[in-house]
Amino acid sequence: MLSYILRRLLVMIPTLLVVSAVTFAIIQLPPGDFVTTLMSQLEMSGEPANLERAQSMRREYGLDMPLWRQYTRWMGFEWVYGAHQSEASEWFGGPRGLLQFHFGQSFKYNTPVNTLIWERIALTVTIAMTSIIVTWVIALPIGFYSAIRQYGFLDYSATLFGFLGMSTPQFFFALVMLFIANRYFDISAGGLFSDEFIDAAWSLAKVWDLLLHLWVPVLVLSIAGTGGTIRMMRANLLDQLEMPYVTTARAKGLNEWWLLVKYPVRLAINPMISTIGWMLPTLISGSVIVSIVLSLPTTGPLLYEALTSQDMFLAGSFLMILSFLTMVGTLISDILLAWVDPRIRFDSNPS
Rounded distance, CA 281 to CA 325, Å? Answer: 6
Q: Which residues pair with 105 in a beta bridge?
A: 112
Rounded distance, CA 305 to CA 311, Å? Answer: 8
Q: What are phi and psi of 106, to 5 degrees?
A: -70, 130
In a domain, residue 6? The reply is: no
Do 221 and 332 belong together in one domain?
Answer: yes
Do 175 and 69 belong together in one domain?
Answer: no
Do 221 and 317 belong together in one domain?
Answer: yes
> Which of 38-47, 51-60, 246-255 tops mean pLDDT?
246-255
Do 146 and 66 belong together in one domain?
Answer: no
Do 86 and 178 belong together in one domain?
Answer: no
CA-closest candidate to residue 105, choices 344, 314, 330:
314
Which H or E run contains 105? Answer: strand 105-106
Rounded distance, CA 38 to CA 46, Å? Answer: 13
Do 164 and 95 belong together in one domain?
Answer: no
% of the chain residues with pLDDT over 70: 85
Contact between residue 234 and residue 147 where contact means Cβ atoms under 8 Å apart? yes
Contact between residue 298 and residue 257 where contact means Cβ atoms under 8 Å apart? no
Do 64 and 202 belong together in one domain?
Answer: no
Of 82, 112, 142, the last residue of a domain is: 112
**Residue 296 backbone class (left: φ over 0; alpha: ψ -120 to 50; beta: rest):** beta
Contact between residue 310 and residue 34 where contact means Cβ atoms under 8 Å apart? yes
Q: What is the pLDDT of residue 277?
A: 64
Do 88 and 162 belong together in one domain?
Answer: no
Which H or E run contains 112? Answer: strand 111-112
Residue-range definition of the domain harbouring residue 106: 30-112
Do 124 and 52 belong together in one domain?
Answer: no
Q: Is residue 2 over pLDDT 80?
A: no
> What is the tens place of the pLDDT at every residue in 173-210?
888 888 887 787 776 777 888 878 877 888 888 888 88
Of 83, 112, 141, the last residue of a domain is: 112
Count of H-run helices and E-run strands, the chain: 16, 2
Contact between residue 232 and residue 143 where contact means Cβ atoms under 8 Å apart? yes
Rounded distance, CA 218 to CA 192, Å? Answer: 11
Of 112, 129, 153, the last residue of a domain is: 112
Instruction: Say which CATH number the domain at 124 has.
Output: 1.10.3720.10
CA-closest candidate to residue 218, choices 323, 321, 125:
125
At 285, the pLDDT band (50, 70, 90 cuts) reads low
Give the global pTM: 0.73
In a domain, residue 351? The reply is: no
Give the number of domains in the chain: 2
In a domain, residue 214? The reply is: yes
> What is the tens place of the pLDDT at every residue in 81-131?
555 444 444 444 455 677 777 787 788 887 888 888 887 888 888 888 888
Do 214 and 316 belong together in one domain?
Answer: yes
In a domain, residue 348? The reply is: no
In a domain, residue 334? The reply is: yes
In a domain, residue 68? The reply is: yes
In a domain, residue 7? The reply is: no
In a domain, residue 270? The reply is: yes
Do 229 and 292 belong together in one domain?
Answer: yes
Do 104 and 131 belong together in one domain?
Answer: no
Contact between residue 177 and residue 222 where contact means Cβ atoms under 8 Å apart? no
> What is the tens place of the pLDDT at every residue in 222-250?
887 788 888 888 888 888 888 888 888 88
